[in-house]
Chains A and B, each alone.
Chain A
Amino acid sequence: MQGQQTTVDPSEIAKFEAMAAEWWDPKGKFKPLHMLNPCRLDYITSQIAGEFDRDLSGDSPFAGLRILDIGCGGGLLCEPMARLGATVVGADAAERNIPVAQVHAEQSGLTVDYRHTTAEAMAEAGEQFDVVLNMEVVEHVADPLAYLTACRQLLKPGGLHICSTINRNPKSFAMAIVGAEYVMRWLPKGTHEWSKFITPDELFELLTQAGMNPVDRKGFVFNPVTWAWRLSSRDLSVNYVTTSLKPA
């Protein structure tokens, strides 16, 4: 990473490197992410299918689409996208995630191009994608506007940008920091800094400033009775997701 311009806070990278080996254990440290994943995938797949007019019940519905997942981790989103037929690039600023993700994709018989790089570096190299996925990343970057601008540069005209993060309010502090890190021990203490959380209105404003048109936002809501996540149009109080389009 020497000499490269990056917006990833170096103290954040170390935290995730420590967690990387456990990515694919459904009952391990990443259990909360595995629990959230179906809900995230439902949103992502329906947005992509809607925008590019694809039928999810058909064979390889995402064939011909080039998708970039930034902050790909162990490949929890890359592999499903590849399985749906997309050409996938997974980028992660944590070097140790790359071999973990690569090994797993090979075992699964999937082709994913995993790279140890950043959004900024790829934008500079002139890479272009139909879809850029930006899930649970923006709350960890040092300069969100510079980062989202790089994301816009990575999109083809008319391309789709999906971004999820955590709201900033007393409830999100209670749920995401006290609840997830201290009570449930879902995440290591210090995973999140509450002051870096962004409200949906702030994110829409940042996305607009970065040159994209925000078109949709939904909440990811955890139900402690059914122990499952669901999408909500109204409750964006803790985890939420947005979709934006790059003007054609």
Chain B
Amino acid sequence: MDNPARTIILPGMKQDCDILIVGGGLNGPSMALALADCGFRVTIVDALAATLREDAAFDGRSYALALTSQRLLQAIGVWDAVTDTAQPMLEIKVTDGRAGEGPAPFWMHFDHAEIEEGPMGFMVEDRHLRRALMDKMRAEPNITQINTATVVAQDITPQGVQVTLDTGTVLNARLLIGADGRRSGTAERAGIKRTGWDYGQTALVCAIEHEQPHNGIAHQFFMPPGPLAILPLKGNRCSIVWSERTDMAAEINALDDAGYLEILKPRFGDFLGDIKLSGKRWTYPLNLTIANSFASDRLALIGDAAHGVHPIAGQGLNAGLKDVAALAEVLVLAARRGEDIGSELVLERYQEWRRFDTTALAIATDAFNKLFSNDNPILRLGRDIGMGVVNAVPGLRRGFIREAAGLTGDVPRLMTGRSL
């Protein structure tokens, strides 16, 4: 041994918990609950106060949860608390259009009745999901929450990881999980670099109230500046996600509500009657950022910390929850075999499982966006014919529906309705 002192100090070193999670957004608490359920002692650290995260009013943000994500939330015991406020997505209609024009004659229609598993997904509001996760965490004896604290240092030791908070607290764990978003400090401190690019586009997000019922139908219009998604919420409300060139988006967002609606209305159409804004407006610059590795010794990254994808298909949270389910499965199986859960050997299995999927999703989303945010007449004709073909062939259409529901690929056990 180069440093004999290490072997003397470390055997006596006490772990404060098995797993330390940094980031208390949506993926972090989901991860904590999945792990606590399996008997791991988990500590979760977040920079914000718990009350700030759970007492929010409706702020216009919501998520299109795939069926598999809903199953995960069920497995970790939070679905019952959000089910009453969740809107099932029964159909998805995809059309090609230009602002102010009717939709192109070719379109795709996906109906959940064509697959046996149930609705393709659910629309869940951020505030309801956040509160359900916080309530469940508080009731879980294996979870310790540390709020209003940030990590200032993390050091790898042979047995685990030592994390220092800005409050001066020092925590020892066998494994550190970074769930701290696309600018992950956890990844940065571990020297994990990121790859990414900017799309020059910004997503405008808001919620609207409308006169006519939406009947659980989600719509996606592909328009030259970018796609516009209309996602049904409970009641006569929809969530709107719409992309524009970044300079245009800034101009639109600077308008008052009336001006904003003036721009939105012709894009949206009048098929749901008159519309008005509900909740706040949000903008998200569309960029892609993928960590060059998702795991290293004593460290794993989940959610946007691992991969911030273009949110065009609503797959950001779904991909994060798939990380949660996959990592929980890898760790539980390793622990039951007596393996060291923080070892590179074990974490490499998580990385291999998720990296392929994620890279494929990033490339597909990117190609999809390039194909559809384009007014080139040849591309437009091509994609209209493509949509017509997909719509006409039931097998192909079912494939798209299963993909949207998250039912393709190597699905983790927690997302199939089974427990670990």
Residues of chain A at the chain B interface (Cβ within 8 Å)? 26, 34, 37-38, 41-42, 45, 56-59, 79-84, 103, 106-109
Contacts and interface: CB of A to CB of B under 8 A. Distances in A.
A80 B339 contact: yes
B336 A45 contact: yes
A107 B38 contact: no
B339 A108 contact: no
Nearest to A86: B338
A202 B54 CA distance: 66
A41 B38 CA distance: 19
Given A26-B345, A26-B348, A106-B7, A42 B39 contact: no
Interface residues of B, number: 21
Contacts of B39: 57-59
B11 A106 contact: yes
Given A26-B344, A57-B38, A107 B339 contact: no
B366 interface: no
B340 A79 contact: yes
Contact of B338 (A26, A57, A79, A106): A79
Interface of B: 1, 6-7, 10-11, 13, 38-39, 158-159, 333-334, 336-340, 343-345, 348
Contacts of A57: 38-39, 336
Given A26-B344, A26-B345, A34-B345, A107 B10 contact: yes
Contacts of A26: 343-345, 348
A73 B141 CA distance: 40
A38 B7 CA distance: 27
Contacts of A80: 337-339
A38 B339 contact: yes
A84 B6 contact: no
B14 to A, nearest CB: 10
24 contacts: A26-B344, A26-B348, A38-B334, A38-B339, A41-B337, A42-B337, A56-B336, A57-B336, A58-B39, A79-B338, A79-B340, A80-B337, A81-B338, A83-B338, A83-B339, A103-B7, A106-B7, A107-B7, A107-B10, A107-B159, A108-B158, A108-B159, A109-B10, A109-B11
A23 to B, nearest CB: 12
A82 B334 CA distance: 14
Nearest to A77: B338
A58 B345 CA distance: 23
A96 B343 CA distance: 24
A41 to B, nearest CB: 4
Contact of A109 (B13, B333, B338): B13
A42 B11 CA distance: 27
A231 to B, nearest CB: 13
Give me the 5 closest cross-chain CB pairs, A-B, nearest first.
A80-B338, A41-B337, A107-B158, A84-B338, A83-B338
Contacts of B6: 107
A38 B159 contact: no
A109 B173 CA distance: 13
Contacts of B340: 79, 83, 108
A95 B344 CA distance: 27
Contacts of B13: 109
A34 B6 CA distance: 25
A28 B344 CA distance: 13
A101 B336 CA distance: 22
